Chain A
Amino acid sequence: MKIVRVMALLSSLAILAYGCQKDPLKDMTNEESRIYITDHDSTIQFNSFHTFSISDSAALIENGRVSKQLNAADAAYIQAVKDQMQARGYVLVSKNDNPDLGLTVNRIISTSTGVISLGSYWDYYDSYWDPYYWGYPGYGYYLPYSYAVYQIREGAVSVDMVDLKDATKNQKLDVIWTGLIRGSDIYNASVAPSQVKALFDQSTYIQTN
């Protein structure tokens, strides 16, 4: 009986201890849940570019299938990117006016396995944004980096910047900067400006001068 009593005591303590464990996810606001990842081509001088154009819709990449859409959140993200680029001295032009830079907004969602292979995201980038869209049919994208450090389980918003100015010389469309937003409640028009600002704030090299 004493052994049973001791075991009961220890079991109770174990339950008590587990119940007392602090759960980080319950101690986190939506803002705190978000992470912002940026990467760039270190050989690029961002002040050598002066004009930009941005896609008029967002690419929705869901379980490997792509569609273009423009809901309120997409429009807010596109506008926020415009605002941040202009705040850093870049001039918005039509994509038909030979912009130096092309920017895209993408929503990446996985609802099947809970895991997105970002490798396949990059592999099929041509199908999401046909180089023809930028006026460079037949060209391929060059992507020198990945987000392989993290496993993506839910979804993300990404903003990508393409070098159009040097496309003819390089014979490819270099993605020279990319930003990724992950976390709770990011598909929301009201938070789009602050999310995009966070990406640009940690990319201080994006300046015309």
Chain B
Amino acid sequence: MKKILIGLFGLLTAGFSAQSQDSRMSLNLNYNYSFPVSNFKSDLVSHASPRGFTGNVMYRFNPLISAGLDFGYQDYYQKYPRQVYNYGQTQQISAVVSNSIQTIPVMARLEVQPFSNTMTSIRPYASVAAGVNFISNNQYLGEFSNASNSAGFIAQGGLGLKIPFVKSNNLGADIGGTYNYAPYNKFGYKDLSNLNVHAGLYFNIE
């Protein structure tokens, strides 16, 4: 794992930092920590997930506005203690229930940096995104799984800061938070909405 992370950082920093200031395409890769909220938290997984990443490829139209494609991956998991569940009038099932949910959102994203023309090097931004959320939901009763793959709508709003490492603003850190509204109408569940904090790197690629 450590070697992979070192390799990733090497790839990030080797070759991207010496671009011109006029670069319009940028890539952003973040580690993501996610907190289930709403019905997702009460019905499926209440534990936060430290297993995820987000990223986006953005095109800068002007110093204020960028648009592009946002993607991510998050793994949610929780095991509940053994409990007896009633099915119908006469059937009881005793099981340890484990919920394992993976989400892969792919969204169109719009980002605004309202203070990009000021002298400050730290650039706050706000973002909105919407698209498709690819969902893998495995519910285990004991060791027996009931798998369901589906796709649903997802919308996102976010705030963050971009902190350049170099004067040219071609490489820097990105920290921020997002809220994902993710309806999910399967097995009586209502949503997979979540709050996230992320930290990562951005760099210009063109």
Q: How far is the CB of A146 from chain B (nearest CB, A)?
A: 10
Whether B90 contacts A42 by the Cβ 8 Å rule is yes
Whether A33 contacts B75 by the Cβ 8 Å rule is no
Interface residues of A (CB under 8 A from B): 1-2, 5-6, 8-10, 12-17, 19-22, 24-25, 27-28, 32-42, 145, 149-150, 153, 182-184, 198, 202-203
Whether B144 contacts A39 by the Cβ 8 Å rule is no
Whether B92 contacts A24 by the Cβ 8 Å rule is no
Whether A27 contacts B79 by the Cβ 8 Å rule is yes
Whether A37 contacts B92 by the Cβ 8 Å rule is yes
Whether B1 contacts A19 by the Cβ 8 Å rule is yes
Complex formed: what's the CA distance from A198 to B140 in Å? 19
Whether B51 contacts A21 by the Cβ 8 Å rule is yes
Instruction: Please pick, from A13, A15, A37, the residue contacting B55 in the complex, using a CB distance under 8 A.
Output: A13
Residue of A nearest to B141 (CB): A35
What sequence of 0s and 1s flags, for each residue 73-84 of chain B, a beta carbon within 8 Å of any chain A beta carbon? 101010100101
Whether A5 contacts B8 by the Cβ 8 Å rule is no
Q: Contacts A17-B73, A33-B143, A198-B94 given: A42-B84 contact, CB under 8 Å?
A: no
Instruction: Please pick, from B57, B91, B93, B140, the residue contacting A145 in the complex, using a CB distance under 8 A.
Output: B91
Residues of A within 8 A of B55 (CB): 10, 13
* 15 intermolecular pairs with C-beta atoms under 8 Å apart: A5-B11, A8-B11, A12-B11, A13-B53, A17-B53, A17-B75, A21-B51, A22-B51, A27-B79, A28-B142, A32-B96, A35-B142, A37-B93, A39-B92, A150-B144
Whether A28 contacts B27 by the Cβ 8 Å rule is no
Q: Which one of A6, A149, A184 has the highest number of Cβ atoms from chain B below 10 Å of its Cβ?
A: A6
Residues of B within 8 A of A149 (CB): 87
What sequence of 0s and 1s flags, for each residue 54-87 of chain B, a beta carbon within 8 Å of any chain A beta carbon? 0101000000000000000101010100101001
Instruction: Please pick, from B15, B51, B94, B95, the residue contacting A2 in the complex, using a CB distance under 8 A.
Output: B15
Please give me the 3 A-B residue pairs with the lowest Cβ-Cβ distance, nearest first: A33-B143, A22-B77, A35-B142
Q: Contacts A6-B205, A10-B55, A37-B93 given: A28-B77 contact, CB under 8 Å?
A: no
The interface on chain B, measured as residues whose beta carbon lies within 8 A of the other chain's beta carbons, has a size of 43
Whether B4 contacts A24 by the Cβ 8 Å rule is no
Complex formed: what's the CA distance from A37 to B90 in Å? 11
Q: Is the interface of B mostly helix, strand, loop or mixed?
A: strand
11 further contact pairs, Cβ within 8 A, besides A6-B27, A24-B98? A14-B73, A15-B4, A16-B1, A16-B5, A22-B100, A28-B96, A28-B142, A33-B143, A36-B95, A38-B92, A40-B90
Interface flag for B206 (CB, 8 Å): yes
Whether B100 contacts A24 by the Cβ 8 Å rule is yes
Complex formed: what's the CA distance from A37 to B91 in Å? 7
Complex formed: what's the CA distance from A13 to B77 in Å? 20
Complex formed: what's the CA distance from A175 to B167 in Å? 80
Interface flag for B36 (CB, 8 Å): no
Residues of B within 8 A of A27 (CB): 77, 79, 98
Whether A9 contacts B91 by the Cβ 8 Å rule is no
Residues of B within 8 A of A182 (CB): 142, 144
Residues of A within 8 A of B94 (CB): 35-37, 198, 202
Complex formed: what's the CA distance from A207 to B42 in Å? 36
Complex formed: what's the CA distance from A9 to B13 in Å? 11
What sequence of 0s and 1s flags, for each residue 90-113 of chain B, a beta carbon within 8 Å of any chain A beta carbon? 111111101010100000000000
Whether A28 contacts B11 by the Cβ 8 Å rule is no
